[in-house]
Amino acid sequence: MANSKYEYVKSFEQPDVLLPNTWIVVRIDGRGFHKLSDRYGFIKPNDRRALDLMNAAAVEVMKELPDLCIAYGVSDEYSFVFHPSCQLFERRSAKLVTTIVSTFTAHYIYQWGTYFPSAPLQPPYLPSFDGRAVLYPTTRILRDYMSWRQVDCHINNLYNTTFWTMVQQGGMSNTDAERELQGTVSSDKNEILFKRFGINYNNEDEMFRKGSVVYRQYQLEDPKPESKSKHGDDDEAPVDESKTSKSQQDKLRKLRRKAQVVVDHVDIIKDEFWERRPWILSGKPGKLPEA
């Protein structure tokens, strides 16, 4: 019994290969996490357990997919970055996105009990994530994307910290706190925190203020002050790499698997982070740290 009669339906599948030599960012977001955080009693404004769980899942995704260069997480979202030279799954968009979303979800669910021992999952209300791929043609724009997320982290966290301090410590109603914060700028919020509650925002936890950066650790390099081309050289590397053979790519993947995946809470807007870790933007593994 052949299946040829119906096989024509395969012709309806349409290709979704992403443009070569561009940065691929897969951003995933928690679905309905506002409700979910209520159901499972997440602490406001930041629940360390929830963030640690996000980071643990992100680390597993990075380990599973050595083609990933870096990831950045804040709140219930995570951005995973593939290098322009990435050829994984022939750069098929749906395959890349769903693999990341599914792997992330699997580890998030599996490790839930470790981070929330006192709040077991209540089916059918399980956490889940959606995702999408976005292309960035140059390193400068990729870095602007990363900066955008970290600035967003800062803006939201300063707001939330101030709001919840006013409510939790200041005894204000949600509505009153919201109203007072309307139209304020950063310095206003810093002042409210400091003057009314003695809180120096800069002493807040770095994970809350800066988000979480996940990458492979090699030996840090000295920044090269003479370098003009701060943001990687879009003109050279990507083209060469896209021509690397399958076997070379496999070799690179093996090298990357040997590196430790670390979680950091640091500034990724300034150049320093990138200059000391040139392997992130170059896509070429660095030197493993000496034991």
111-140 binders of a copy of itself (CB under 8 A): 111, 121, 123-124, 126-140
Does 21 engage in binding with a copy of itself (CB under 8 A)?
yes
Q: Is 267 in the site for a copy of itself (CB under 8 A)?
A: no
Supply 88's token pair: 């994984």
**Residue whose CB is less far from a copy of itself, 109 or 255:** 109
Nearest distance, CB of residue 171 and a copy of itself, angstroms: 28
Question: DSSP letters along the chain, please?
Answer: ---TTTGGGGGG----BPPTTSEEEEEEEETTHHHHHHHTTPPSS--HHHHHHHHHHHHHHHHH-TTEEEEEEETTEEEEEE-TT--GGGGBHHHHHHHHHHHHHHHHHHHHHHH-TTS---TT----EEEEEEEESSHHHHHHHHHHHHHHHHHHHHHHHHHHHHHHTT---HHHHHHHHTT--HHHHHHIIIIIH---GGGS-HHHHH-EEEEEE-------TT-S-TT--TTTHHHHHHT--HHHHHHHHHHHHHSEEEEE----SSSHHHHH-HHHHH----PPPP-
Q: Does 31 count as an annotated binding residue?
A: yes
Reading the block at residue 24, the tokens are 């691929």
Q: Is 43 a binder of a copy of itself (CB under 8 A)? A: no
Which span sits near a copy of itself by CB under 8 A: 9-17, 34-42, 195-203, 248-256? 9-17
Residues 84-113 that bind a copy of itself (CB under 8 A): 84, 93-95, 97-99, 101-103, 105-111
Which 143-172 residues touch a copy of itself, going by CB under 8 A?
Answer: 144-145, 147-148, 151-152, 154-155
Q: How far is the CB of 122 from a copy of itself (least distance, A)?
A: 10
CB of 135 to a copy of itself, least distance (A): 6
- The residue among 1 and 291 lying less far from a copy of itself, judged by its C-beta, is 1
Question: Is residue 225 involved in binding a copy of itself (CB under 8 A)?
Answer: no
Rule CB under 8 A: is residue 244 a binding residue for a copy of itself?
Answer: no
Q: Does 238 bind a copy of itself (CB under 8 A)?
A: yes
- Minimum distance, C-beta of residue 286 to a copy of itself, in the bound complex (Å): 22
CA dihedral 199, 204, 209, 214 (to 10 degrees): 180
- Window 181-210: residues binding a copy of itself (CB under 8 A): 185-186
Min. distance of Cβ 24 from a copy of itself in angstroms?
Answer: 11
**Pick from 183, 243, 247, 291: which binds a copy of itself (CB under 8 A)?**
243
The first and second tokens of residue 251, run together, are: 């070799």
- The binding site consists of 29-34, 75-76
